[in-house]
Amino acid sequence: MTDDRNTSHTARAWFITGASQGLGRALAVAALDRGDRVAATARRAEAVADLVDRYPGKAIALELDVREESAAHRTVEQACAAFGRIDVVANIAGYGLFGAVEEATDAQARAIFDTNVFGPLNVLRATLPVLRAQRSGHVLQGSSLYGQSAHPGVGLLAASKYALEGLSDALAAELAPLDIKLTLIEPGYMSTGFLSHLVFAEPAADYDATVRAVRSALGELAPEAFIEPARAAAAVFAAVDAKQPPLRLALGRAAEDGLRAALTARLRELDAWADVTRGVDAAPRS
């Protein structure tokens, strides 16, 4: 990493979803500790109300279900009324679904996309007009190591994160000429009860050797495999403070190892099938 970080800090105004726990909470606290202002949102405003008491005049607590587009517009208007601007949009709200792809019900599949894909999209539709008018800002998209890799049991979770990363790749290029930055945050396993926050699909015995084996392995992860939200937030701030922030920021060794393995395997396969790949191109005209 080139050290292109700004050494001075100008107070920013943040709009954070999923601020009641995990990385969203850690980002809110870290930002407020730095003297920034934060619109902390959660599905229940009381879940973030303590931040208003701890940081009077700096934090506001807003109720937001990211699945509701009208609610996203309403809370963004409230944040702008309080702060006059938004400098960082942190799309962190989301959840995981564990189970074989076949096992997930239609309702479960649609629900995870409603929160993990359409939720961030609702927030983007509400906040991007503000950032475009300012010709400045930074969008943080809460992805995970499953945004570029997958293993048995996380198919629907990975599908939602792959979708988020795809739209974010395009969005980053669309926003760059407007001096608006975008960074995908790809953490590994957070030390906030990773498995306890998952929704589980109804199991089928045929997947015991794959999906259930992975679930058991995840339950036996060593403590050092997990990352503390506060440390993750500090890493995110390094990206936010950078003059040239990364498009993707992996957090933790588990994320780095998983992403390296997935990307290396993808390149190896591309090389192995290169002749077939190129063979479909039109023959050069004589």
Please give the residue that has the higher pLDDT: either 265 or 9. 265
Mean pLDDT across 143-165? 96
Is pLDDT of 224 > 80?
A: no
Q: 246: which residues sit within 8 A by CB, 6+ positions away?
A: 183, 239
Mean pLDDT across 203-224? 85
Share of the chain above pLDDT 70, in %: 94
Q: How far apart are the first and last CA of the chain?
A: 48
* pTM exceeds 0.85 for this model: yes
- Give Cα separations from 86 to 89, 224, 246, 269 (angstroms): 7, 36, 20, 43
C-alpha span between 159 and 148 (Å, rounded):
9
Is pLDDT of 9 > 90?
A: no
C-alpha span between 91 and 15 (Å, rounded):
8
pLDDT at 16: 99
Share of the chain above pLDDT 90, in %: 83
DSSP track, 160-184: HHHHHHHHHHHHHHHHGGGTEEEEE
Is pLDDT of 6 > 60?
A: no
Q: CA-CA-CA-CA torsion for 242, 127, 31, 67, nearest 10 degrees?
A: -120
> Per-residue pLDDT tens for 43-89?
999 999 999 999 999 999 999 999 999 999 999 999 999 999 999 99
Please give the residue that has the higher pLDDT: either 8 or 92. 92
Mean pLDDT across 206-224? 85
Domains and CATH numbers, the chain: 13-272 (3.40.50.720)
Q: How confident is the model at residue 215 (pLDDT cuts 50, 70, 90)?
A: confident
C-alpha span between 171 and 139 (Å, rounded):
10
pLDDT at 3: 54
| Cβ atoms 92, 27 nearer than 8 A | yes
DSSP track, 24-46: HHHHHHHHHHTT-EEEEEESSGG
